[in-house]
Amino acid sequence: MTLEDVVGRIRRAERKSGREPGSVSLCAVSKVQPEDRVRAVLEAGHRFFGENRVQEAQQRWSLFRPTFPDVTLHLIGPLQSNKVKAALDLFDGIESIDRESLAEKLSTELARRDGAAPTLFIQINTGDEPQKAGVSPAEADRFIDRCREHWRLPISGLMAIPPAEEAPAPHFALLAGLAERHGLDRISMGMSGDFETAIEFGSTEVRVGSAVFGERVVAT
Ligand SMILES: *Cc1c(COP(=O)(O)O)cnc(C)c1O
């Protein structure tokens, strides 16, 4: 599996689902991957990457960004409140807004900075899994409204990671329905094992790691 294969499969899945060609973006998840694999994907021209840890991302991208300044970087893992400033300095998008205290911190910090806010997604825990980050579906309507109205966050979309041991389709349907109900255009769902299904259900960005770079050497 390579970048080219994954992009080809995304384009085919778009056609098959009657989606606009090119309407689905590929967020290449570079967490834990060795430098040479990431460099190869950059040299192939890819520019949209995802990372799940702030510190690890700082290290990796301080190395690559001087050479590839047009990279778009999204945080797709949990964000601790004490790392909000660092995250805003580094990332073009934050996909893991999952609690009031984080929404408040982001809101305060963004008000302090002028300039464009990053692309913001709320993470929904579609399977209500206790060990997983994200807002419970039962709380989602209220949380989305509060982020937008009370904290004045320019929310672009929703993100979810379905339970590993369940069929992903109902979770993708839930997320897409929630996004539609709130008039949110961007839906971040689909990983190496299920991105074609996610596209069928309306994903606008798939987060694909191992299918692009190869298996991760260290588990995360
Ligand atoms: C690691 C990770 C991915 C990519 O997983 P693969 O199965 O390697 O494609 C996607 N989304 C999140 C939030 C991740 O942490």
Atom of ligand 1 nearest to the CA of 213: 8
Q: Which residues are CB-neighbours of 136 under 8 A, at least 6 positions away? A: 125, 128
**pLDDT for 93 beyond 90:** yes
76 lines ligand 1 (CB under 6 A): yes
**pLDDT for 115 beyond 90:** no
- Of 220 and 36, which is predicted with more confidence? 36
- Once rounded to an integer, what is the mean pLDDT over residues 125-142? 97
Is residue 217 very low, low, confident or very high in pLDDT (cuts 50, 70, 90)? confident
Q: Which two tokens stand for residue 72?
A: 């778009």
Atom of ligand 1 nearest to the CA of 191: 9
191 lines ligand 1 (CB under 6 A): yes
- Of 218 and 185, which is predicted with more confidence? 185
Q: Give residue for tokens 């991208």.
A: 61
In angstroms, the CA 73 to CA 93 distance is: 6
Is residue 220 very low, low, confident or very high in pLDDT (cuts 50, 70, 90)? low
Q: Which residue's alpha carbon is nearest to atom 5 within ligand 1?
A: 209
CB 106 within 8 A of CB 151: yes
pLDDT tens column, 2-34: 999 999 999 999 999 999 999 999 999 999 999
Residue 88, phi then psi, degrees to nearest 5: -70, -30
CA nearest neighbour of 46 among 70, 76, 22, 14? 70
**pLDDT for 162 beyond 90:** yes
74 lines ligand 1 (CB under 6 A): no
Is residue 219 very low, low, confident or very high in pLDDT (cuts 50, 70, 90)? low
In angstroms, the CA 203 to CA 185 distance is: 10
186 lines ligand 1 (CB under 6 A): no
pLDDT score for 116: 82
Is residue 114 very low, low, confident or very high in pLDDT (cuts 50, 70, 90)? confident
**pLDDT for 198 beyond 80:** yes
195 SS3 class: helix
Is residue 161 very low, low, confident or very high in pLDDT (cuts 50, 70, 90)? very high
161 lines ligand 1 (CB under 6 A): yes
CA nearest neighbour of 170 among 201, 148, 193, 196? 201
In angstroms, the CA 21 to CA 14 distance is: 6
